[in-house]
Structure 1
């Protein structure tokens, strides 16, 4: 029964992302990321239904908590508030004509993996009354789904013939960022935040520094490029 209830929560965040996709223009930078993330969330849902996760409740709790951070940033902007620093470059440059779709996608992935994933692990641990180590299998399986989809995103959004991509500035820009490294850093940040949970002042400073660092990387990923 608990699994069914949690699955409805996954359906709810998926429905929210579908509604955003229908509302925003396709070329909007946040919409580009939203489509990528919608695919990821649907893929995680398929794995949950297929029994791919040893602990379904833990997997769904982590997935929903993860999505909530992105949707909270969307809501903040819609309400005229400032989103976290990690999301700010994407929302500020979402309509810049010199930024390519693949840059928008990776800037969103950078914000969501680099910042939100660590916070989602801590949120899920509090919800479930467990330690980060208890969620490591679910974390790794969700990460594997993200890595598998990264190549598909590159293929779908990378412009130009393969022979020209080596000389494309976009190739060099995105080559400096790695989803696997970002995922590893998110796990380390989650463990650090959990260890600091009894020191709210220090934990808050750590979160702020993490947010700022990920935002800086996002701004670099969104460097406008020549056609």
Structure 2
């Protein structure tokens, strides 16, 4: 595995995520689960930039790179024995455990990246009132995510058969079973970004710590949801037969 990565453009992000997934395949590491999902979403965002979907495609490329660098820095800190943020520590620590089901691993990564990294990066790129000029492009990502997560649902139905079957009956069980909703998280991330963008540096530091504590608390709920959901997770776990590498290949599709 190579040393710290530093992306400047969305193409750099795709290359670096490819490396994380390939390293994880070689090592049989669950770290690659979130990276594979992240790469699929980034491919869709890059396509949107190329097609002129966003008001400022060049800014979105830089924002995507800065956003991804938060993940790469956290991952490199974890691998080197450092201390990434609390929420990322929880996500990475879980990859060494067999008990969490696939959707829990994915939700842990998404939680840390959206609830902590996203507002921090948006506020730093567009400080002060400039943050409001980012709103439309920020919201356009929601449509891209809807399509990408719809594709994920199809893959989950294969990799986690009971989860897929129950999802048809109950409707987006993955969100309910781990208490995490991506749209709600992005809405909260936007509010946090506006707050951060208008704060002085000292207040920003305090707010970032608060966001990490919040994301860390959500991560604990993802890993240990309230009764009776643990029983449902036991059933889901029993149907997840694919090994780590097989799962990675399917997610990387």
Match of 1:173 in 2: 177
Deviation at 1:145, TM superposition (A): 1.4
Whole-angstrom CA distance in 2 between matches of 1:35 and 1:102? 13
Match of 1:21 in 2: 21
1:29-65 deviation digits (Å, cap 9, x = unpaired): 3210000000111111111111111211221122111
Whole-angstrom CA distance in 2 between matches of 1:27 and 1:136? 39
* Kept in 1: contact 2:41–2:145 (CA 8 A): yes
Match of 2:67 in 1: 66
Q: Which has the larger displacement, 16-25 or 155-164? A: 155-164
Whole-angstrom CA distance in 2 between matches of 1:92 and 1:18? 21
Does residue 149 (structure 1) correspond to residue 148 (structure 2)? The answer is yes
Does residue 9 (structure 1) correspond to residue 25 (structure 2)? The answer is no
Structure 2, unaligned runs of 5 or more: 1-6, 225-229, 239-253
* Kept in 1: contact 2:119–2:189 (CA 8 A): yes
Whole-angstrom CA distance in 1 between matches of 2:139 and 2:215? 21
Whole-angstrom CA distance in 1 between matches of 2:15 and 2:99? 31
Match of 1:107 in 2: 108
TM-score normalised according to structure 2 size: 0.77
Cα RMSD for the two superposed structures: 2.5
Match of 1:48 in 2: 49
- After superposition, the Cα gap between the structure-2 partners of 1:138 and 1:163, relative to the gap in structure 1 and judged at 3 Å, is closer
Whole-angstrom CA distance in 2 between matches of 1:214 and 1:192? 17
Deviation at 1:19, TM superposition (A): 0.7
Structure 1, unaligned runs of 5 or more: 1-6
Deviation at 1:171, TM superposition (A): 6.6
Whole-angstrom CA distance in 2 between matches of 1:173 and 1:87? 20
Deviation at 1:17, TM superposition (A): 0.6
